[in-house]
Each structure stands twice: as C-alpha cells, then as structure tokens.
Amino acid sequence: MDAGIKAKVTETLKKTGALSSGDMADFSQPEPATAAPAKEPGAIDKVAPATVEDPLVSAGKSDSSADALADASGGAVEGYSFGIDRLEEVEVTSDDKRAFEDAIVLDGRFKRPFSLVNGKIKGVFRSRTAEESRSLLNELNRQWTLASRTSPIPASEYASTLRAALLICQIDELQGVKYPELQEPLMAVMGEQQRTGEKAVIAPRWYGDMFTVFGKMGDGKQAALYEALCKFEQKYWTLVKHADDQNFWCPEESTSA
C-alpha cells in the first residue's frame, strides 16, 4: 500500500474507528496535476527516443542494475509484457517476411541466419515461445532469490546470466552444431530424493546446459553473439508490429490488377 494512503487510513481509523469503501476510493484519488506551462506559438513537442525490442532482451544489455529481472517482468514475473508500440524498427527483407509468415501461420519458430567476424562465425537464431519467456523469468528469479539469501549478488551477474539464458534458448545452430529446443520441464519441479524419500527441487535441464555451453566461452564471443541476438529480436518485433499492415506485406504498387 502506498505510504500516503496508509497514513490516511491510520488517521481515519483513529478518528472514527471505522473505514468504508468510500474512504478508500477517496484515498486512492491522485493528487491534482500541476498545469503545464503554456507553449509558445509554433513550438514543437520533443519526442523521447524510442526504446529497443522487448524488455527481456533489453534487461540483458544492462549490467548496472540488480533490478534487471524486475524491469523485464514489469515488477512481477507473471506480468511480462513487450510494449511494442515504442519499438525501434529495423529494415527487414522479403526473405524475413516469408519466414515470419510461415512461422506465424504454422505457429512455429521464426528463424534467421547470422554471420560474425567476416563470416568466420555463422549460425541461426530462433524465436522464443511464450512459455519459454515465462520460464526463463520464473527460473532465474527463483535461482537469484535463493542465491541472494547467502550473499549479495553483483549487479553484473544478473545481466550476464540473463544473456546466457537467452542464448541457450534462442541459438538454433552455431558453427554447424544444432542446439536442441529447451526440453520439459521448463521450470523447476519437485522430485523424490532416492535415499530419504524427501521432496527435492529439481532445476530444469536448460539451466545447467546454459553454464556448460557458455561458461567455457570467451567474454568477447558471448558479447558478440548477444549483440547479434538483439538485432534478430529487433527484426522479429518489427515484423510483429506490422502484422495488421496489409501494405507492409503486399505493397499496393506490386499488386496485380
């Protein structure tokens, strides 16, 4: 509860000994907004720069905030949202459009190739499923909550772990090696310990694979892969944003009479 509202509730209870729903409605009213200064004739509003891609990927770019996960989930793991209205769009090709159409219509994965270091590193990225996005947020939140009980977690650890999780989830192929999709269970489950018969939490397999694959990888290579993933995400969400724009998919000038 907001501190100001809490104080008002306490004061009302002291005075009257009772509290009605009407009181709560009054307490919840926002303070009157201060009138904005009048603009001069011909003045132009300044527009804030557009944000980039979905917040789960954006959080992985920041190593200065220990709240990266909360920012990505809107303060609640279950409340993850994309906010594509403010997306910074990028150029897409006709091949990108065809691949996206096939993925959307067939409810499959959107996949696009990438190339780094003058073609010496090649691979393919794939889009996440909605369940994978939720699972990454939930499992990382669980792991970080457990770890923070024993010692503070460096802010950079949040972002680097999130980057590794996204890469293990979205790299479809790298240097000719095929990466499997995340296998069930996507989130931790309760299992029986063989010796004692007690319940034990079993972490999902992808969480361990994440450290096996990217723990041995150099910082520079992992950072380069993540930058490529960010560009892939911008392309994907640009296509999503134009899903209902007929001219985007079939320009008027190209249609036959």
* Position 75 in a domain: yes
* Position 3 in a domain: no
Lowest mean pLDDT among 63-72, 149-158, 160-169, 236-245: 63-72
Domain tally, the chain:
1
Q: What is the rounded distance in angstroms from the CA atom of residue 215 to the CA atom of residue 97?
A: 35
* Position 188 in a domain: yes
* Position 246 in a domain: no
**Token pair belonging to 133:** 């996005």
**Token pair belonging to 221:** 């290579």
Using the predicted structure, report yes or no on whether residue 27 has a pLDDT greater than 60. Answer: no
* Position 250 in a domain: no
* Position 253 in a domain: no
pTM above 0.95, yes or no: no
Report the b/e string of 86-118 with b at 16+ CB within 10 A. ebeebebeeebeebbeebeeeeebbbbebeeee
Most confident of 21-35, 164-178, 203-217, 233-247: 164-178
Which residue has tokens 């001219």?
A: 247
**In this structure, are residues 124 and 113 in contact, taking their beta carbons and an 8 Å threshold?**
yes
* Position 24 in a domain: no
* Position 145 in a domain: yes
- Domain holding 223, by residue range, is 55-236
Using the predicted structure, report yes or no on whether residue 251 has a pLDDT greater than 90. Answer: no
Taking phi over 0 as left and psi of -120 to 50 as alpha, with beta for the rest, 94 belongs to alpha
Query: In this predicted model, what pLDDT tens digit does every residue of 122-142 receive, in sequence order?
Result: 999 999 998 998 888 888 888
Q: Of residues 84 and 241, which shows the higher confidence score?
A: 241
**Token pair belonging to 165:** 């999780």
Query: In this predicted model, what pLDDT tens digit does every residue of 92-113 receive, in sequence order?
Result: 999 999 999 999 999 899 999 9
